[in-house]
Amino acid sequence: MYSTDEQGSKIVYRDRLEDVSISMDRGQCLGLAGFEEPPAISWPGDFMSAFQHPLRTLPLRDLAQGAGRVAILVSDSTRGVPTAKVMPMILEELSAAGIGPGDITVFVATGVHRPATEDEIRGIMGKEHLGGLPCVISHDPYDPGKLVYIGTTSYGTPVEVSRTVYEADFRITIGKVEPHEFAGFSGGRKSVLPGVASEKTIEINHRPEMLMSPEARPGQLLKNPIHLDMIEAAMMLKVHFAVNLVLNQAGETVGVFAGDLIASHLAAVRFMRSFCQISLKHRPDIIVTTPGSPLNINFYQSIKPLIALAPVMAPGGVLVLYSSCRDGLGTQDMLIPYEGAQDIEEVIRRLSADYRIQMDHALLLGKILLKGVRIVTATPSIDADVLHKMFLDTAESPQKALEKAVSMVTSPKPKVLFFPQAQRALTVLSHTAI
């Protein structure tokens, strides 16, 4: 998917997904960052094994005996979870427990993302499973009539969730585990909060004082208030069986962990940690990154690699982001705090005073810029004037974006690192880094 080739005195970086090529002087290129991934597991054998030997709970077919209504919480299309591979095992296990398709409701756990389209639902579920499942719906976080209050966490978050999910006798989650920009890792408890929570609950969990915590960062679960708050909410609702998947860069499954909600999530986290850490010997002057699919759907999702890379950038460094962003910004709320702002400090003050849920990435973007890191974007589906309001530089193409970045740094021969899908890695500086 990504590669670098030598062509005389030049290095050419290629991205086959976005059909991008970037050329630069070989002496300035630090190379292509990445990590060695485990091999893809076999389907259906390894998947079935995970169901036959679940973690800290009975097999699903035994656990679900006597249940009436079943709710299955699945991720939306921005997560790229291979739900269609898992669904046959779940349906088979539920059938063995005496539960038929008419007793099953599948919820696309969108949080506050837009509802899934019919095409997206077909892609998530697999066409072959849709006919036998009469009820596949997207979560609605806005309609009070579809929500129920189930308690308040120790962090002060009132937990409101889908009433239909709450009223089900048995709840199953399917998710993907990888580093997350402020929850430490995705997957597990996130199917509940934000997955099937109300806008109010998500907004309070994602509030500025939580996001600004030094522990609310990729790879960090210990003392992370957002993660711990999510755990409390999930325990209030009670998830009876969870499936957590770990994927490689190509979207293939390299690990599947099923069973108890917390145990399966932590097992997936440990597995991900075993291969996803990257140590840099130097702070690059410039890093070129892209989110890959499916995060390249919009700008809101596309900034995740920037959040992951900010800690290893020096003040004055430049991040280059290219992404197709076919759905534009993804949310206008992200732009609101930047409209007419004189500087990043004003943006942060606005966010603290008047915060909405999909302003979380506006705040995280502001944290990067507040550090003195500059960003050049090549996002053809977004008007440059919109990005300029967010204090971002723009370029017509990824090649032009890199050239602009080179002109922005003070070093006469700045060092450039290519690091696609950086949000999938835990990147640190070695002890000898300068």
Residue 189: which CATH number?
Answer: 3.40.50.11440
- Do both 311 and 368 map to the same domain? yes
- Please indicate, yes or no, if residue 62 is contained in any of the structural domains: yes
| Residue ending a domain, choose from 250, 274, 298 | 274
- Do both 287 and 392 map to the same domain? yes
Cβ-contact 402, 22 below 8 angstroms: yes
| Residue ending a domain, choose from 274, 302, 320 | 274
- Please indicate, yes or no, if residue 373 is contained in any of the structural domains: yes
- Do both 290 and 160 map to the same domain? no
Higher pLDDT, 262 or 114: 262
Higher pLDDT, 101 or 194: 194
- Do both 388 and 264 map to the same domain? no
Distance from C-alpha of 185 to C-alpha of 217, rounded to nearest angstrom: 9
Which residue's entry shows tokens 């991205």?
A: 15
Give the pLDDT band (50/70/90) at residue 434. very low
Mean pLDDT of the residues in the chain: 94
pLDDT of residue 133: 66
Which domain range does residue 343 map to?
Answer: 2-32+281-429
- Do both 73 and 98 map to the same domain? yes
pLDDT of residue 99: 95
- Do both 291 and 364 map to the same domain? yes
Among 144, 154, 184, 168, which Cα is nearest to 237's? 168
Interval 155-203: pLDDT, tens? 999 999 999 999 999 999 999 999 999 999 999 999 999 999 999 999 9
- Do both 18 and 147 map to the same domain? no
Cβ-contact 284, 416 below 8 angstroms: yes
- Please indicate, yes or no, if residue 39 is contained in any of the structural domains: no
Distance from C-alpha of 90 to C-alpha of 133, rounded to nearest angstrom: 12
pLDDT of residue 129: 57
Q: C-alpha angle 75/240/174, rounded to 5°?
A: 20
pLDDT of residue 431: 55
- Please indicate, yes or no, if residue 216 is contained in any of the structural domains: yes
Q: What pTM, to 2 d.p., does this model score?
A: 0.90
Interval 13-52: pLDDT, tens? 999 999 999 999 999 999 999 999 999 999 999 999 999 9
Beta carbons within 8 Å of 173's beta carbon, 6+ residues apart: 72, 73, 109, 188, 191, 192, 195, 239, 241, 242, 243, 261
Q: Which residues pair with 180 in a beta bridge?
A: 184
Amino acid found at 5? D
pLDDT of residue 132: 62
- Do both 373 and 389 map to the same domain? yes
Tokens describing residue 67? 């249940």
- Please indicate, yes or no, if residue 182 is contained in any of the structural domains: yes
**Structural domain total, the chain:** 2
- Please indicate, yes or no, if residue 40 is contained in any of the structural domains: no
Q: Which residues pair with 376 in a beta bridge?
A: 320, 393
- Please indicate, yes or no, if residue 117 is contained in any of the structural domains: yes
Amino acid found at 4? T
Cβ-contact 352, 208 below 8 angstroms: yes
Distance from C-alpha of 229 to C-alpha of 225, rounded to nearest angstrom: 6
Average pLDDT over residues 246-252: 92
| Residue ending a domain, choose from 274, 305, 338 | 274
Average pLDDT over residues 74-81: 86
- Do both 353 and 263 map to the same domain? no
Distance from C-alpha of 325 to C-alpha of 314, rounded to nearest angstrom: 27
Any idea what the CATH number is for the domain that residue 386 is in? 3.90.226.30
Helix axes 118-125, 83-96, angle to 10 degrees: 70
pLDDT of residue 77: 82
pLDDT of residue 432: 47
pLDDT of residue 229: 98
Average pLDDT over residues 318-335: 95
pLDDT of residue 1: 87
Which residue's entry shows tokens 């002890």?
A: 431
Among 31-35, 51-55, 115-119, 271-275, where is mean pLDDT lowest? 115-119
pLDDT of residue 130: 57
- Do both 12 and 148 map to the same domain? no
Interval 343-399: pLDDT, tens? 999 999 999 899 988 899 999 999 999 999 999 999 999 999 999 999 999 999 999
- Do both 415 and 302 map to the same domain? yes
- Please indicate, yes or no, if residue 37 is contained in any of the structural domains: no
- Do both 323 and 216 map to the same domain? no
Tokens describing residue 192? 């509940």
Interval 250-260: pLDDT, tens? 899 999 999 99
Which residue's entry shows tokens 């809101």?
A: 300
What is the percent of the chain with per-residue pLDDT over 90, rounded to a whole number?
84
